[in-house]
Amino acid sequence: MNALRQALQDWYKVRQRDLPWRHTQDPYFIWLSEIILQQTRVDQGLPYYLKFTAAFPTVKDLANASQQEVLNLWQGLGYYSRGRNLHATAQQITRDFNGVFPDSHEGLLKLKGVGPYTAAAIASFAYNLPHAVVDGNVFRVLSRYFGVDLAINSPEGKRQFEALAGELLDRYNPALHNQAIMEFGALQCKPVSPNCAVCPVQESCMALLSNKVAQLPIKLKKVKVRKRFFVYHILANAQNQLAFQRRAPKDIWEGLFEFPLVEFDNSEDMHAYLEDKLVIGAKFQHVLTHQRIEAYFIKTSMKDSAKANYLMLDLMALEDHPIPRLIDKFLIAHSSELF
């Protein structure tokens, strides 16, 4: 711990970039730089920081500007909601805090758009309070140096990395420490091709010693859940048989039997279709690993010619035909309403 802490600060004193927000302890300027640099590279954000501080030297100046003026300056940074939020927060500070930034981590968290990371950054850089920042750079340095293979975006991983960052924090020099570890992650222990060959902590870095630099940190891939909207048609004939079709290959429930189906891309289209139909029961929700299905079952009639396309089965015969769990749930709940 001590060795890493010292090495980070020594490295930072020599290698740090000269950036204007590092020469100030004014919480307004620090907040401004943090908001501008969210989702933005330093070289891209720097001119915006200079424009904003020149146009609005105090938080009250920013609050009193029109939204149009703020957005005009913001132009080119993208994410206009961030520009609008910046303006709204300046107004909140002017209105509710008399233009003075809160001087505690807790107080800073009350500001719109300020989460734990930004609050820790302002608390340490402006007030030298002992709060560890934990951003992507910090996750990476900690994961590699200590060889922690917990996913940085899992709740357990986040907890452990936050605890580790808190332990590592230099409580006597939190501002310097936080700047140092973030800069080290940005320039030295980079996501791709970190400079391990000339790294001051190469002899104690677990990732390097165990040849896992490229694998760490671990991030869980977010599985995208596909939403699907099904309307099933209950078609009965005079013999109390219902129409079924077999599901095609390359989709869920391949080869299983289901009622005639119309699938929609979105909920609005499905509800427009349902408007004048006779719906049996309420909405059914069915959750699969990568899909979430919303389904309705409607009673409908059809021309005799259409029946030829379907397999007509009574409920007894259905027992010999595999059906999806969703259809089974529906039949258990509503078998008395089918005919």
Catalytic residues: 34
210 contacts ligand SF4 (rule: CB under 6 A) = no
CA 326-328-332 angle, 5° bins = 120
196 contacts ligand SF4 (rule: CB under 6 A) = yes
Strand pairing class (278-287; 257-258) = unpaired
217 contacts ligand SF4 (rule: CB under 6 A) = no
Of these, 7, 213, 274, 302, which contacts ligand SF4 (CB under 6 A)? 213
Provide the β-strand partners of residue 287. 292
Per DSSP (E only), the strands in the chain are 226-235, 242-246, 257-258, 261-264, 278-287, 291-300, 311-313
Q: Let me know: does 220 contact 156? Beta carbons within 8 Å.
A: no
C-alpha span between 143 and 136 (Å, rounded): 11
Residues 136-165 close enough to bind ligand SF4 by CB under 6 A: 144-145
- x-or-dash pattern for ligand SF4, window 164-193, by CB under 6 A? ------------------------xx----
Judged by DSSP in three states, 258 sits in strand
208 contacts ligand SF4 (rule: CB under 6 A) = yes
Letter string b/e over residues 89-113, b meaning 16 or more CB atoms within 10 A of that residue's CB: bbbbbbeeeeeebbeebeebeebeb
Of these, 6, 75, 195, 309, which contacts ligand SF4 (CB under 6 A)? 195
State which residue, 28 or 145, has the beta carbon closest to ligand SF4: 145
To the nearest whole angstrom, how small is the minimum distance from the Cβ of residue 108 to ligand SF4?
30
State which residue, 213 or 298, has the beta carbon closest to ligand SF4: 213
The residues of the shown chain that bind ligand SF4, judged by CB under 6 A, are: 144-145, 188-189, 194-196, 199, 201-202, 205, 207-208, 213
